[in-house]
Structure 1
Amino acid sequence: MSNIQLIIEERAADIGKFLVGRLLPFRQKRMIGPFIYLDHMGPVKLNAREQMDIRPHPHIGLSTLTFLFEGSIMHRDSLGNAVEIQPGAVNWMTAGKGIVHSERTPDYLRDSEKIMHGLQIWVALPKDLEQMEPEFFHIEAQQLPTWEEGELQFKLVAGEVMGHRSAVPVYSPLYMLEIKSKQKQTVDLEGKLFGESGLYILGGGIESEGNQFGPKQILVAKDTSLCAFTIEANSTIYIFGGEAFPEERFIDWNFVASDKELIRKAKENWEAQAFAKVPGDEEEFVPYPTFPKK
């Protein structure tokens, strides 16, 4: 019997000047553990006239995780943080009761060609922490645990698993694990994972129970205790998941909450421009989007 419950294909989503590959949420699987949103951004080549300019926008009820493979992003937020995100580092921003941030091409790169490529992820907060004070942490690449098992290379981007713990300060039991292999071999994670688990193929491929799977797919496991597969040569995959929450989570624009009333209040506060401003990036206001009625 197959251990693959669901195969999610990457779908194109327009975020202004960028097309990203949206993976979560999916109509048949809204969350994987506490992970509620996953976008694969790029790779996209920008010329000297093209920039990444995601204007200040709000969040509640979640933590955002930005992880770049190529390129650079200047992060600014309403707590006063101004940090350049470079490949391999992790930006971990916890919105809690409310935060505003912008993501832009750094000034020194705006007159040159550049490539943008990375993952942008939302992790829902436990119900009792949805209204916590906002926080921001930047974890450099060298702070992330890395190890080898045979010919497999592991990196723990966030969470705790397999006896390792990332420096990213998460708020519920979860994991985001990078696995790389230069040669075809078996990956046996039986008994090493917990909760719900998804496997995202960034490059290369895997084989499971006679089936081949390639890039831009998420495979959702039925049973994480039975997670074993063959990884193809020169592949990079990400396994992510953790303990699911007992309550449903609602998403409306950039807001996540277990209570729709929290989302309604956040929407009112944003339209009234009652959220804190982003120092150094106060000029632009993104209106709450109007969605077409179905």
Structure 2
Amino acid sequence: MSNKGLIIEERARDIGDFLVGRLLPFRKKRMVGPFIFIDHMGPSTVKKGSYMDVGQHPHIGLSTLTYLFEGEVRHCDSIGSDLVIKPGAVNWMTAGKGVTHTERTPDYLRKDGLESSVHGFQIWVALPKELEFMEPEFHHFEKEQLPTWENNDTSYTLIAGEGYGRKSPVPVHTDLFMIEVKTKKETALNIQGEVKGEIGICVVKGHIIACDQKIDAGNMIVSKTEDACKVILPADTHLLLFGGETMLEDRHIFWNFVATEQETIEAAKKRWKDKEFPKVEGDTSYVPLPE
């Protein structure tokens, strides 16, 4: 995932127990637990002339999590991974000391100029300080491998981490949770005692009611207290519940680089300029470092 713009347009406001804003990061809240960047991708139509073609770009100091609701994306990286992520599956790539990858519309969707939709989230999770320079890793989990359950006509999928007495197979490096929630009828979201740490909610579809305020799709709320007000989910609501334990150190972020020390960022910038990062085999593309 190439982070083209660090600060997403801010519409942050305070509604009592929650902060409301446009995903991560925004000025009032740089991180939620270890989550440092959340980008809502689409929904959009992919067709001839507008295929996804993100060339080789680097990451350090984080794990990327890609989760799709619609569409297909081919992921290739310098570790040797080459696969297509489909709706409901999880791509989990840990950059550590440095990895390069590409994201493209699969060849078979280009072949006949077919149109397709793409919709999902691309997420960065900061690595703990002691693992910032670990060897890169890549893991992929199909939809059927993730814990799912229903309660009160509400469906849950545990994408990563632990929550509601369950654990995802995704090998995370910090205490966190990310859960997809879909409602068939109005319900109150039960959070207390089910997840640990800071709590964020991305409204994907519909709206929610928090502290008697209506929060529309496209916004994120972040709890300021462990004893937050009740969150009401109307029928046909779709959201991501996420968060985790607060990280002890602040993080520097530039382009696709995350680190506890600015010197690490500067060294990565030089390595990318000098083309010293590992390469995706057989790929000659190169996304230049932003000025």
* TM-score using structure 1 length: 0.91
The superposition leaves residues 6-34 of structure 1 with CA deviations (integer Å, 9 ceiling, x where unpaired) of: 1003xxxxxxxxxxxxx211111110000
Count residues in correspondence. Answer: 276
Are 2:18 and 1:5 equivalent residues in the alignment? yes
TM-superposed CA distance for 1:149, in Å, is 1.7
CA change 1:227–1:131 in 2 (3 A) is farther
Bigger shift: residues 183-192 or 81-90:
183-192
| Aligned equivalents of 2:254, 2:210: Cα separation in 1 | 36
TM-superposed CA distance for 1:225, in Å, is 4.0
Provide the identity percentage.
Answer: 49
TM-superposed CA distance for 1:205, in Å, is 1.3
Q: Give 1:285's aligned residue.
A: 286
The superposition leaves residues 145-204 of structure 1 with CA deviations (integer Å, 9 ceiling, x where unpaired) of: 001122221110000011100011000000001111111122222222221111111001
Q: Partner amino acid for 2:49?
A: R
| Structure 1 residue corresponding to 2:272, chosen from 265, 270, 273 | 270
Q: Partner amino acid for 1:287?
A: P
CA contact (8 A) 1:59 1:98 kept: yes
Are 2:122 and 1:120 equivalent residues in the alignment? yes
The equivalences for 1:122-137 within 5 A come to 122-137=124-139
| Aligned equivalents of 1:188, 1:285: Cα separation in 2 | 46
| Aligned equivalents of 1:121, 1:285: Cα separation in 2 | 22
| Aligned equivalents of 1:227, 1:101: Cα separation in 2 | 41
| Aligned equivalents of 2:71, 2:244: Cα separation in 1 | 29
CA change 1:227–1:95 in 2 (3 A) is farther
| Aligned equivalents of 1:106, 1:189: Cα separation in 2 | 38
| Aligned equivalents of 1:100, 1:124: Cα separation in 2 | 17
Q: Give 1:19's aligned residue.
A: none
| Aligned equivalents of 2:77, 2:187: Cα separation in 1 | 43
CA contact (8 A) 1:193 1:225 kept: no
The superposition leaves residues 78-102 of structure 1 with CA deviations (integer Å, 9 ceiling, x where unpaired) of: 0111010111000000000000000
Q: Give 2:149's aligned residue.
A: 147
CA contact (8 A) 1:191 1:224 kept: no
CA contact (8 A) 2:165 2:194 kept: no
| Unmatched segments (≥5 aa) in structure 2 | 1-13
Q: Give 1:104's aligned residue.
A: 104
TM-superposed CA distance for 1:2, in Å, is 6.2
Give the root-mean-square deviation of aligned CA atoms: 1.4
TM-superposed CA distance for 1:48, in Å, is 2.1
CA change 1:41–1:2 in 2 (3 A) is closer
CA contact (8 A) 1:66 1:118 kept: yes
Are 2:225 and 1:219 equivalent residues in the alignment? no
SS of the counterpart of 2:202?
A: strand
| Aligned equivalents of 1:135, 1:177: Cα separation in 2 | 22
